[in-house]
Each structure stands twice: as C-alpha cells, then as structure tokens.
Amino acid sequence: MTRDAHDAHDAHDVHDTHDTHDIHDAHDAHDAHDAHDAHDLLMKNSSINKMKTIKRIGVLTSGGDAPGMNAAIRSVTRAALFNQLEVVGILRGYDGLINGKFRNLKSRDVSGIIQTGGTILKTARSEEFRTFDGRKKAYDHLLKENIDALVVIGGDGSFKGAGIFSDEFDFPIVGLPGTIDNDLYGTDYTIGYDTALNTVVQAVDKIRDTASSHNRLFFVEVMGRDAGFIALRSGIATGAEAILVPEVNTNLEQLRSYLEKGNKRKKSSNIIIVAEGDDAGGAYEIAKKVKDDLSHYEIRVTVLGHIQRGGSPSAFDRVMASKLGVAAVDALLEGKRSIMIGFMNREVSHVPFSKTIKYHRHLDDSLLRVADILTI
C-alpha cells in the first residue's frame, strides 16, 4: 500500500473514530437530557403527591374558649368537605389528642352552631402535651386515625405547643387565633374579641345606670391578665373616668387626685375600668388602696369574669371566623404549615408560629392618647 493510501486509510479511521465519539456524546447528552426531564417530572409528581397527601384533617379548640370558635369549626369543616377532604373533630384540645378522643364531622354536625358561644369540641389545658412523651402519644393517635394535618383554634400557648409538635414530627399544622384577649402578634383581631368587648360595654352601661342613681364609684374589672385591649376599648366606649391596664404603670396618687376633682364637680357617677393584670392589683385591691382617701364616695367593685367568654358571637366574629376557617384549609392544601391565619388590614395574613409566639402585640398609642384626653 502506498503512503497516500495509508494516509487516506488513517484519515478514514480517524473520521470514523470522531463520528463514533460524536455519536456517543450525542447519546450521553440525550441520556442526560432525559435524566434531567425525569428528575423534573419526579419532583413535579412529588410536589403533586405532597399536595394530595392531605385527605383527612383534624380540628381542635385549645385554651380558653371564645365566642366564634363554633363558627370557625363550622367553616373549617365545610371548607374541607368542599375540597373532598374528611374531617375529624378532636375533643378537649390537646388532651383529647393524647387520649384519642375523636369524632368524624359531616356538614350536618356543624349545622346550627354559628350563633352559639363556647365550643362544641370542648377545650382543656393539657400539662401532658408539654412533655415529649405526651406529644408522641398524640402523634401516634394521629397516625392511627390517618389524620394528615391539623387546624388548631386557640391562643399563643396553643400555638407554642403546635409549633413544637409540628417541628418534632414534621406534621402540617395551621392555627386560627381564638382568644378574647386580642393580644396575638400578626392579626388585628382575634376570634371572640369583638363579642367580649361588646359584652363588657353592655354590662358597664347597666352599671352606669345604677351608679348614677346612688352617686357611687364603681371599679369594674375586666379580663386581661397580660394585655389591656378589652379594658382600653371598653373604657373609651363607655366613657370611663379612668382606665387601668397592665401596659401602663398605675399612679394611685394621680387616680385619687382625679377622683377628688370629679367629686368637686359633683359628678353623679364614676366608672373605673381595671384590667385584671394591672400592676397595682385587680379591682378589689385597688379599691382597698384608695377607699380611705375617698370616704365621700360609696365604692363598689364588680368583676365581670367569665361572662366575657360566653354569649352569642357578634356578626363581626362570625364573619371573620368563617373567612379564616376557609383560609386555613386553603393554606394546608397549598402546603403551608406552622403558621397562624391572621386578619391584617381587612385581609387574610399568614404569620409563622415562631413570630406569633416571640413577638407581642402592643396597645394602640393613639387610643391611649384618646383615653387621656377624654377623661378631663
């Protein structure tokens, strides 16, 4: 074979080798592309499957009861059924979760409850749920009942427990703010607050009638161990002569001076609204501290107590609870977890449990100023 022939043959071999290499490269690239597509499809299917895993949800009420909780239960139940989900009511809050107290909920089970106070699921505080063993029992019951997610209706203590449980067992939980105190960070209003506020206003208006008839000074104690939201707004709404809240240090000398001025102006009645957590003490304690200096007053004390928790919820609480209940189910179906469904600027908001627990909602400074101005 001549050198030219050898060169031509080598060139042909090299060309064949390049062709083979190109074919392999193309094949590898095609395999890589297919693998990438398969990975994307797998992730997409995984995401879809994750969305579809929620087929059965549980709902419970925890902590203190609040008007409107039944409206929230009704909303969660019917929103879940609308989305072809099964619903399980858990009785007596976390205690029922630990002890397996469950009942299936259908649409008829929540019929005729929107106007009722309290909670048809009952509520309780659970010390056992504060322990890991207690929470493990609760988780085992959820697995046994094939419950895929939870809606917890309650306050900050309930959300703290829900956040810990969700982190420990990777379990989807969404919270609804149910407390008359209105002290949860991340929502302008809590379920039950508006009703409780109106209950206080109606009671104080009646107390004002008898106070005027007898020229009496009434100290009226309202709920609010750590927050003065009920006291502040009800005080403004009833024209109270003074409003004492935990967030502002109480100056008893200033209170005495003000009441003396009122006496000189021949005021026919005086109403002092006291939040139960005020730094100077509750209504009885404060009345005891000032009575010796105000002997010309006939002093009476009224503690409204648990009347503030009961009663038919207001229209506002019913509508808000209904809106938040639907939003809770929507959030779970969207893959959200460890959040509270709030109500900010008249819109639904999502607030992580971590923020709701860590931060505190403060009184409106402008309302405090209004209260100061109007007590002259």
Report, as residue numbers or ranges, the catalytic residues.
181
Give the DSSP per-residue string, 32-72: HHHHHHHHHHHHHHHHHHHHHT--EEEEEE-SS--TTHHHH
328's enclosing H/E stretch is: helix 315-333
* Residue from 340, 345, 347 nearest 62 by CA: 340
> Which residue, among 305, 304, 244, has the nearest Cα to 278 in the 3D structure?
244
- Output Rg (C-alpha) for the chain, integer angstroms: 31
Cα separations in angstroms, 38 against 12, 31, 35: 38, 10, 5
How many other C-beta atoms are found inside a 10 Å radius of the C-beta of residue 374?
Answer: 13
Check if the beta carbon of residue 67 is closer than 8 Å to that of residue 309. yes
Q: How far apart are CA 176 and CA 72, in angstroms?
A: 8
Are the C-beta atoms of residues 349 and 187 closer than 8 Å to each other? yes
- C-alpha dihedral sign at 236, 237, 242, 243: negative
The dihedral built from the CA positions of residue 282, 288, 293 and 295, taken in this order, carries a sign that is: positive
The span from the CA of 285 to the CA of 283, in Å, is 6
Alpha helices in 88-131 (DSSP H): 93-99
